[in-house]
Amino acid sequence: MAAQDPGRERFGADTHRYEVTPTLAEAEIRAFEESHGVDLPMEYRSFVAEVGNGPAGPCHGLMPLTVTRPEAGDPDAVRIRAYDLRSSAQEALFRVQMLTDDDRLSGTAEDVLADITELPKADARAALDELRARTRDDISRLVGSAKQHL
């Protein structure tokens, strides 16, 4: 892709520059999972172990596992990120409602928006994990429903 975009005109190319950082050892991947209390999907584990730990990827690229998120420890940045997510979800919901009269698809999009709106309100790690799982499941349902309209 870099050869097709030498001027880095594609969205995000000026950020990731089509470069991939070195891969991670299994121990580094496990350490990340343990410190964050998550199990990475096998496909993503394979990617960071065999291809690279970011940043080349869609849009501005992938955030490497070994880099602290910019908003970590900054409540204002977290609120801004949550606002951005809600805004994106609202835009997606609006588009779904404009493009189809499928009530099930619109209902699923509304579920996603409601879940995303609740994420920053979680007051405990367990509540956040439950909301994240529900949001992920709702997004999967939304994508599945949307695919039926393609």
- What is the residue whose two structure tokens read 């509304």? 110
pLDDT of residue 48: 86
- What is the residue whose two structure tokens read 């690229």? 61
Rounded to an integer, what distance in angstroms lies between the CA atom of residue 146 and that of residue 105?
A: 7
pLDDT of residue 102: 80
Is residue 111 classed as helix, strand or coil in its secondary structure?
helix
Q: Which residues of the chain have pLDDT under 50?
A: none
Largest CA distance in the chain: 49
pTM, two decimal places: 0.41
pLDDT of residue 53: 82
Q: Are 54 and 61 in contact (CB under 8 A)?
A: yes
Could you report the per-residue pLDDT of 79-113, keeping only the tens digit for each? 666 666 667 767 777 777 777 778 887 788 788 77
pLDDT of residue 27: 94
- What is the residue whose two structure tokens read 């199990």? 39
